[in-house]
Amino acid sequence: MSGPPTAVAAVRHAVRGALDGLEPGALVLVACSGGADSLALAGATAFAAPRMGLRAGGITVDHGLQDGSAEHAAEVAATMRTLGLDPAETASVRVGAEGGPEGAARAARYTALEQSARRLGAEAVLLGHTRDDQAETVLLRLARGSGGRSLAGMPARSGRYLRPLLHLPRSLVHTSCTDMGLVPWADPHNADPAYARSRVRQEALPVLEQTLGPGITEALSRTADLLRDDAEALEAWAREAEERVRDPAGGLDAAALAELPRAVRTRLLRHAAIAAGAPAGALGAVHVAELDRLVADWRGQAHVDLPGGLRGRREEGSITFRAETGSRNAEVPGGGHGDRHTGPAARTAR
């Protein structure tokens, strides 16, 4: 008896590897847009999960950004039910404007997925990102001047979110979708040059492949893996160091911070700002750099304004964070040393 086609077998194997270790009876949800990547993931999960003693369901998010989006979401949910996913639901969201169209849609989507996972009691949410998506992410972040933490790309596992296909090429995943007899939906946004990711996919990566030779996608994905190892080690170092630099009043001892390598110190300052109430998604590298000036290049600056109405201060040799009603959101000192007011800050996406 012959087995499944090679591409189908590869996707099923990747799903089994991602789900390994979950308790029998646990519910896993596939985030499915109806595109080839997520549809292949849905088909593979519907096959593999029950054989591992797991329950498999699916969620499709209606962003409301296109005519007929509600009808399309209903069709995707029906397809998931045909595959055997149960529950198979739609979640409608309202996309805001903050962070640009791509960032706002992403934020709304993850909020909906998290709410659905909590309501249904899901142990894991499976996302259909492929190796090509990883390469695009690294290239986009490289163009923005992101640090090693951002260039590490998307993790295969982050909390309840799993990306089983992250090391598989998009072409193989699309082949598996066809081999399973599934008909994907082609999202017009994926080919719209108004979106940065679309331009990277349709123009930048093909030019790099043509100029530098094949293998760029694999190289970028491999770079992300290597940088993630470094980033995780530095994050662990920063969290361990935070206990040692905490002063009796609850602030951070500036002299002790100054003795740490900058890569560790800036991560520690970022952790502290987020713990004090700065929104992680809005706290950019420019904010952290200005906090670091309070430690390594202090010339009497009064404060650093941070997202979320928060201020970082250096007071009596201690770095502290307090909510300030007069703080201007998402701004940092923009002039020379000793600034008391702020200039515009750059925003970062993802």
Nearest 5°: CA angle at 22, between 16 and 26?
Answer: 105
343 assigned binding-site residue: no
21 assigned binding-site residue: no
34 assigned binding-site residue: yes
107 assigned binding-site residue: no
150 assigned binding-site residue: no
Full 3-state SS string of the chain: CCCCCHHHHHHHHHHHHHHCCCCCCCEEEEECCCCHHHHHHHHHHHHHHHHCCCEEEEEEEECCCCCCHHHHHHHHHHHHHHHCCCCEEEEECCCCCCCHHHHHHHHHHHHHHHHHHHHHCCCEEECCCCHHHHHHHHHHHHHCCCCHHHHCCCCCEECCEECCCCCCCHHHHHHHHHHCCCCCCCCHHHHCCCCHHHHHHHHHHHHHHHHHCCCHHHHHHHHHHHHHHHHHHHHHHHHHHHHHHECCCCCEEHHHHHCCCHHHHHHHHHHHHHHHCCCCCCCCHHHHHHHHHHHHCCCCCCCEEECCCEEEEEECCEEEEEECCCCCCCEECCCCCCCCCCEECCCCCC
38 assigned binding-site residue: yes
CA 134/CA 168 separation, integer angstroms = 10
**Known binding-site residue numbers:** 33-38
**Known binding-site residue numbers for ATP:** 33-38
